[in-house]
């Protein structure tokens, strides 16, 4: 089936906006994606006519909300290729998911000198929770480098895993470089030495099919707002045996089995990790976003974005005054750029005047910025709705930046 880009673009109301009198060219999907109309409508209908708190209520609205909320667990499990629905823990996004693993699984196992292994291209969400363990329990953070083109150094990964390594935690796709990590290869390296592995799938899960069973990983985090769903939604996949090993992260309703004056017993996973009133409608909205993605086809989305990537790569390479950080062969459609004599913030401001939305800054990846010798970049990140015409608009906008700033 042909990829109907025009129909997809019509599904996203934000793409009809005019910014400073110019059509919006939204190239900031790597930070947060726009939402299709059906996600917006599903949440609006839920708040208007289907809302009640979930679990334990015996009235119609509570049963309806619970059915839709728990139905989202099956949708996410299918989307990730999980073997069991109860391997999916609802969270507010990847940041909470990674913190849950840090506090619930890793912290009880860390003694002074024990190691967490990371790559230099991690988002801060997959760095700071491990620094907590360094500060509080004496953990040691060890780092795997990338090549100058942005590829993970698998030789370093294998060499760095030692008897004190408790966990490997890697991005599946860099939000700065677009580098795609070979997750199965990394998992096999870790598991060969008896070490569990976590993947931050915030970027990767948006851009192509993910199957955690095939990868074999122990944990996998996704975030809803990058998956064309609402903010404050996300999930953690964890193997059943790993979730069973974890202590609760937060205390409150839904995560308990029984509470007495003297004691408390906890629910089985995943409810053990879902304390309090959850983000009901955001989770329902996330499930609707995933259904939308599956309707288009993740393989088809990946192929479309590869075409956009190749076009952008070709046209950017002709601008010898633009430097793109990282050029891995199978990178995603993410381009982090610098221009001699121009600050990325100034580039972003000028592009905005033409209706072009990009991101400027360190992208919550300061160790990676240091690795490539920059303090900030101007990042254009494409999505399922991006068009060849938007690539042309970006190139024209960069030429304007050159004229005004160069």
Separation of alpha carbons 311 and 303, rounded Å: 13
Which pLDDT score is estimated for 1?
61
> Looking at 217, 364, 378, 401, which residue is catalytic?
364
The CA–CA distances, whole Å, from 18 to 40, 257, 353, 354 equal 20, 52, 11, 10
**391 three-state secondary structure:** helix
Please confirm, yes or no, whether 364 is among the known catalytic residues.
yes
Whole-number pLDDT of residue 79: 98
| 176-186 burial: b if 16+ Cβ within 10 Å, else e | bbbbbbebeeb
Q: How far is CA 304 from CA 24, 34, 124, 179, 382, in A?
A: 20, 17, 29, 17, 10
CATH assignment, 40-295: 3.40.640.10
Please identify every stretch of the chain with a pLDDT value under 50, giving residue numbers as ranges.
none
CA distance 372 to 294: 36
Contacts of 256 (CB under 8 A, 6+ apart): 264, 265, 266, 267
Distance CA 255, CA 237 (A): 17
The residue extents of the domains of the chain are 5-30+297-405, 40-295
Helices 388-405 and 298-317, axial angle in degrees (round to 10): 30
Instruction: Give the pLDDT score at 80.
Output: 98
Q: How much is the pTM?
A: 0.98
The fold for domain 5-30+297-405 equals: 3.90.1150
């Amino acid at each position: 089936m042909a990829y109907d880009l025009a129909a997809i673009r019509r599904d996203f109301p934000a793409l009809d906006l005019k910014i400073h009198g110019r059509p919006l060219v939204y190239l900031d999907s790597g930070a947060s994606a726009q939402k299709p109309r059906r996600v917006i409508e599903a949440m609006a209908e839920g708040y208007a006519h289907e809302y009640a708190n979930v679990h334990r209520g015996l009235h119609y609205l509570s049963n309806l909300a619970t059915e839709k909320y728990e139905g989202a667990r099956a949708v996410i499990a299918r989307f990730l290729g999980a073997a069991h629905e109860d391997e999916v823990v609802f969270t507010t996004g990847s940041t909470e998911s990674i913190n849950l693993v840090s506090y619930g699984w890793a912290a009880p196992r860390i003694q002074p000198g024990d190691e967490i292994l990371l790559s230099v291209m991690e988002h801060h969400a997959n760095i700071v929770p491990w620094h907590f363990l360094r500060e509080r329990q004496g953990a040691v953070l060890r780092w795997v480098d990338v090549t100058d083109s942005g590829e993970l150094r698998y030789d370093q990964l294998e060499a760095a895993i030692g008897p004190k390594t408790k966990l490997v935690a890697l991005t599946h796709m860099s939000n700065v470089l677009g580098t795609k990590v070979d997750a199965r290869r990394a998992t096999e390296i870790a598991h060969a030495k008896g070490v569990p592995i976590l993947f931050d799938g915030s970027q990767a899960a948006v851009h192509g099919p993910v199957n955690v069973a095939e990868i074999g990983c122990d944990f996998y985090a996704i975030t809803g707002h990058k998956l064309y769903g609402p903010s404050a939604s996300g999930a953690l996949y964890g193997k059943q045996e790993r979730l069973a090993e974890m202590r609760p992260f937060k205390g409150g309703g839904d995560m308990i089995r029984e509470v007495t004056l003297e004691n408390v017993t906890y629910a089985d996973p995943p409810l053990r990790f879902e304390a309090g009133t959850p983000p009901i409608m955001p989770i329902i909205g996330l499930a609707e976003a995933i259904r939308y993605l599956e309707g288009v086809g993740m393989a088809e989305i990946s192929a479309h974005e590869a075409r956009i990537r190749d076009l952008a790569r070709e046209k950017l390479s002709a601008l010898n005054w633009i430097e793109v950080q990282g050029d891995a062969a199978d990178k995603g459609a993410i381009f982090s750029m610098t221009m001699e004599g121009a600050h990325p913030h100034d580039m972003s401001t000028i592009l905005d005047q033409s209706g072009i939305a990009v991101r400027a800054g360190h992208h919550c990846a300061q160790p990676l910025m240091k690795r490539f010798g920059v303090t900030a970049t101007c990042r254009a990140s494409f999505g399922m709705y991006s068009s060849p015409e938007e690539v042309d608009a970006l190139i024209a906008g960069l030429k304007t930046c050159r004229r005004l700033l160069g």
